[in-house]
Structure 1
Amino acid sequence: MNADNYQELAMRTLAAGLTPRERLTNAALGLSGEAGEFADTVKKHLFHGHPLNREELLKELGDILWYAALACDALDVRLSTVMAANIEKLRRRYPEGFSSERSQQRSE
């Protein structure tokens, strides 16, 4: 499955009738909530002695992707466009791959 196909299929489960502003708000709140659930699962593993719940993490990542697709929909942009722009930004920032030195010296 490619990113744009995912976005199209994911948006089939969006409640009808939401304005772009409502979709963007839903995406922002949903991303925050799902990222928190992902972090909480990691926290329970690292600090509470729970076994790493890989299936739960994958579920939360799926939810995060859904809300990212919703944000793209609200902004009228394809998920693949955002992905490509992010890779281009990373290439400019770290042309030889990540380095701590370049990270510490970057201004953006």
Structure 2
Amino acid sequence: MDRSDLARELGDVLWYVAVLADYFDLSLDHVARANVEKLASRRERGVLGGAGDKR
């Protein structure tokens, strides 16, 4: 797979994410910000490469 193929696949993923967010009335901005905060917290706690928080 080359970069242009990857870009097309990522575009499809973004479309699916946008459709799901719209369906559940979620702001993509809010989702992205919350994820950045979650990952920053994991980094600060030294568990960024771990199994996650709610699994």
Instruction: Identify the TM-score tier after normalising by the shorter chain.
Output: 0.7 to 0.9
Q: Which amino acid aligns with 2:35?
A: N
CA distance in 2 between counterparts of 1:61 and 1:54 reads: 10
Q: Which amino acid aligns with 1:59?
A: R
Asked whether 1:93 is paired with 2:48, we answer no
CA distance in 2 between counterparts of 1:107 and 1:62 reads: 26
CA separation of 1:90 and 1:69: change in aligned 2, threshold 3 A:
same
CA separation of 1:68 and 1:54: change in aligned 2, threshold 3 A:
same
Structure 2 residues without counterparts, runs of 5 or longer: none
Q: Pairwise mapping of residues 17-56 of structure 1 onto structure 2 (< 5 A)?
A: 41=1, 53-56=2-5
The normalised TM-score by structure 1 is 0.42
- Structure 2 counterpart SS, 1:65: helix
Among 66, 69, 73, which residue is 2:15 paired with? 66
Task: Looking at secondary structure, tell me which structure has more helix per residue.
Answer: 1
Which one has more relative contact order, counting CA pairs under 8 Å at least 6 apart? 1
- Structure 1 counterpart SS, 2:11: helix
RMSD of equivalent CA atoms: 2.1
CA distance in 2 between counterparts of 1:71 and 1:94 reads: 28
Structure 1 runs (4+) greater than 6 angstroms displaced: none
CA deviations over 1:38-75 (Å, ceiling 9, x no partner): xxx4xxxxxxxxxxx11111001011000000110011
How many equivalent residue pairs?
52
Structure 1 residues without counterparts, runs of 5 or longer: 1-40, 42-52
In structure 2, the partner of 1:45 is: none
Larger radius of gyration: 1
